[in-house]
Structure formats: structure tokens, C-alpha cells
Amino acid sequence: MSEELVRLARQVGREAASLVRARRPEGRVDVTATKSSPTDVVTAVDTASEELIRSRLLGERPDDGFLGEEGDGIEGASGVVWVVDPIDGTVNFVYGIPAYAVSIAARVDGVVRAAYVTNVASGEEWGAVRGAGSWRWVADERRALTPQPVAELSQALVGTGFSYSREVREKQAAAVGRLLPQVRDVRRIGAAALDLCSLAEGRLDAYVEQGLKPWDVAAGGLVAHEAGIVVTGLDGAPDERLVMATHHALAEEYFEVVRACGF
Ligand code: LIP
């Protein structure tokens, strides 16, 4: 079943990525609304992408549920819920920074089983099926992801991100300030799904972020997990309070440092 879900996720995700690509004008994109804060933006293309994804997925599988960033949730009756970010990295999309993604995960009875992420600007695509690994697609070939750990935490390149809330940001900035002297450097790329796929690729060594929503983490989290990355939260499953991730070889030490930094 998971294979069938990942096949559908890719088919629909590619169609959404084409729409996002085609509708991005030169220069800056207009913002149509804001959400949790004035910097948390939505464009007409986020909404159009989500509508397309929802109608295609539920057109094929009408009994499934749907949880998307921009619209109302649908509970469904099949046990499958699609968790979707129609544009992860909307601020990058608005500015034309080439790091924004379509992210689609299939959660079956509460567990993410299949995942698809594509960087719309570069055309890179990643997929995962729980228990069967994660890969990057090169045309239709699946190349397995097997990132190598760095030898020491001091050599780790760490991805992070900041909440849209001013108060949370103040705390995050302080915690990142304590982490920075202990690692190689920090990157704030601006799309959590791509950060997690970058970990799976070995383009980042570790990751930490607070305030992420399920659609930011669901697909990229499975891609990373299936590549041997431990993705966790403060006390168990990753959640809005905290997502931290790294190669299992560094996990114990890194997670302890993240906690000590006050994330
Ligand atoms: C964004 C993330 C980004 C994170 C923001 C936000 P959006 O998703 O992927 O990395 O730092 O808090 O959640 O809003 O562009 O879909």
C-alpha cells in the first residue's frame, strides 16, 4: 500500500510543482494574507497549489483525510491522512530564493508511511517508504540515501529556522547563540522539508527547530529517518515544541547539547 501512496504523492507533487513554477512571476510575488504574525505569509500560489493537491489526492482516494497548511482539514474514513505543505519555504518563494518545496506525506493510522518532497526551483525530488528506505529520484531511478556522519560535533553543519512569533524568536536566537560556538556553523535555509532532505543527503549534519507544524516535518522527517537520521522531539516524538535530528552516531551527544542550549 505504501508504494501506491508514494507513487500517487509523486504524481500529484510533480503536478503541483509545475503549477508553482509556472505561476511564479519575475521579481517578488504578491502576498495575499498573513497568518500567525505579519511575517507569516500566504500567496495565491500557496492556495492554488493546496487546492490542486487536495482535489487530485481525494479525487483518486475519496475516503482519505487531508491536513494542509492553508485550508480546513478533512478527517476521512480510510485511516489514511495526507499531510501537505503546498509551498514549504513561502518566504523564499516570495523573494525568488531557490529553496521552496512541495511536501506530501501519507499518514496511515497515525504513522507517516510514505513521503514525497520536491524542491520546486531545482527540480530535485526525494521519496521514502517506512521500512523500505529513502531515496533521491534521478529521472525515474531511485538512488538510496546513505549520509555519512561527521567525526565530531564540532565539525557538524547545523540547519535551523526561526518561528514567526517574536517572543519565540528571542529565545531561539539565544539558544542558537549558545550552539554556534560548539559546531562548525549554522544554516537557515528557510524550508524545513528541504533541511530534513538535506540531512538525508549529507548536505547538513544536524538540525534543530522549534515551532514547526506537522506539514513542515511529516514528509522530510520520514526521508531523513529512512536514511538513518534520528528525528526526535524534547521528550519523544518531534512536535511543535522541538524537532531535532542528526545521524545516529552523533545523536546522543547532539541532543544533549541542544537541550543544554535551552531550545
Ligand atoms: C516554514 C518552514 C521554515 C520555518 C518556518 C515555516 P512555510 O514553512 O519550512 O523553515 O522556519 O517557521 O514553518 O510557512 O514556508 O510553509
Q: 23 and 76 share a domain? A: yes
Domain that holds residue 230: 153-261
* pLDDT given for residue 248 in this prediction: 94
Q: 140 and 222 share a domain? A: no
Query: Which CATH number is 161's domain given?
Result: 3.40.190.80
Q: 201 and 81 share a domain? A: no
Q: Which of 43, 88, 168, 244 to mutate to test the pocket of ligand 1 (most atoms within 8 A of CB)?
A: 88
Contacts of 195 (CB under 8 A, 6+ apart): 159, 161, 187, 189, 204, 207, 209, 220
* pLDDT given for residue 35 in this prediction: 80
- From the CB of 220, is ligand 1 less than 6 Å away? no
Q: 157 and 124 share a domain? A: no
Identify the residue whose cell numbers are 512541495: 102
Q: How far apart are CA 69 and CA 178, in angstroms?
A: 31
Q: 157 and 98 share a domain? A: no
- From the CB of 191, is ligand 1 less than 6 Å away? yes
Q: Which of 119, 216, 217 to mutate to test the pocket of ligand 1 (most atoms within 8 A of CB)?
A: 216
Query: Which CATH number is 14's domain given?
Result: 3.30.540.10
State which of 102, 127, 144 marks the end of a domain: 144
Ranges of residues in the chain with a pLDDT under 50 are none
93 Cα nearest atom in ligand 1: 15
- From the CB of 218, is ligand 1 less than 6 Å away? no
* pLDDT given for residue 71 in this prediction: 84
Q: 140 and 173 share a domain? A: no
Tell me how far the alpha carbon of residue 145 lies from the centroid of ligand 1, in angstroms. Answer: 24
Q: How far apart are CA 255 and CA 169, in angstroms?
A: 20
Q: 78 and 163 share a domain? A: no
195 Cα nearest atom in ligand 1: 10
* pLDDT given for residue 79 in this prediction: 97
Q: Which helix (H) or strand (E) holds 176?
A: helix 166-179
Q: 65 and 192 share a domain? A: no
Is there a contact between 12 and 56 (Cβ–Cβ < 8 Å)? yes
Global pTM?
0.96
The cell numbers describing 93, all together, are 518563494
